Amino acid sequence: MTLELPEGPFKAYLFDCDGTIVDSMPLHYVAWNKALGEYGCEFDEALFYAWGGMPVAEIIRSLNEKHGLSMPVETLHHRKEGLYYEMLDQLKGVPEVMEHVHASHGTIPFAVVSGSTRESVVKSLQVLGILDKFDTLVCAGDYAKAKPDPEPFLMAAERLGVEAKDCLVFEDTAMGIAAATAAGMASVKVLQPWERAGI
């Protein structure tokens, strides 16, 4: 399956990480279920994917509010990340996105723009052997407002020295596409795992 890109030319590619470059969302969901299960908290799979791109700490706070719980944000954050790292050897790239990473690397600058921590993004890209292909990483903690706010994408464009209108965003979530649109950037939607499975 090939990704149909919008009409260019573009001067930079901005990639979300989880679910876009790396097919990590199923592993993240397993990690979430294990970590949250220790607190008796459920996380519906449809909601998990709807919240794709939201920083981990924000997800925990939102789940606390939704279920009337008071799970410790920092402790649970570290527990969930640790469980994810244990499964990293199972990580694979999203083939149709990896194709563009390899084909266009060296011709235009690349950035990763993620709601995940820098440590998580670096580890994921290292497993795939592509960390060196990205000129900058914009991760949770770098910006004040997360997707769907345009701030993370605008920060990446600024770091690359490219105007927003000249950037193409690769994203797998509605929240990410909304952020790209708000930033004035063109975007391409990467299918979710269950959408790809039916092709």
Q: For the segment 133-145, what is each residue's pLDDT rounded down to a tens digit? A: 999 999 999 999 9
Residue 198 reports pLDDT greater than 70: no
For residue 21, what pLDDT band results from cuts at 50, 70 and 90? Answer: very high
Active site residue 166: no
For residue 191, what pLDDT band results from cuts at 50, 70 and 90? Answer: confident
Are 19 and 173 in contact by the 8 Å Cβ rule? The answer is yes
Please state the pTM of the whole predicted model: 0.90
Taken in order of first residue, the domains within the chain and their CATH numbers are 12-24+92-197 (3.40.50.1000), 25-89 (1.10.150)
Please give the average per-residue pLDDT across 4-17, as a whole number.
94
H-type helices in 107-197, by residue range? Answer: 118-128, 151-160, 174-182, 193-197
CA 134 → CA 53, 108, 129, 182, distances in Å? 19, 10, 11, 23
Which residue in 124, 187, 182 sits closest to 148, CA to CA? Answer: 182
The neighbour count for residue 150, using CB atoms within 10 Å, is 20
Are 35 and 87 in contact by the 8 Å Cβ rule? The answer is no
Residue 197 reports pLDDT greater than 90: no
Which residue in 169, 31, 147 sits closest to 91, CA to CA? Answer: 31
DSSP-derived secondary structure letter, 115: S
- Average pLDDT over the chain reads 94
The active-site residue out of 16, 18, 23, 172 is: 16
pLDDT for 199: 45
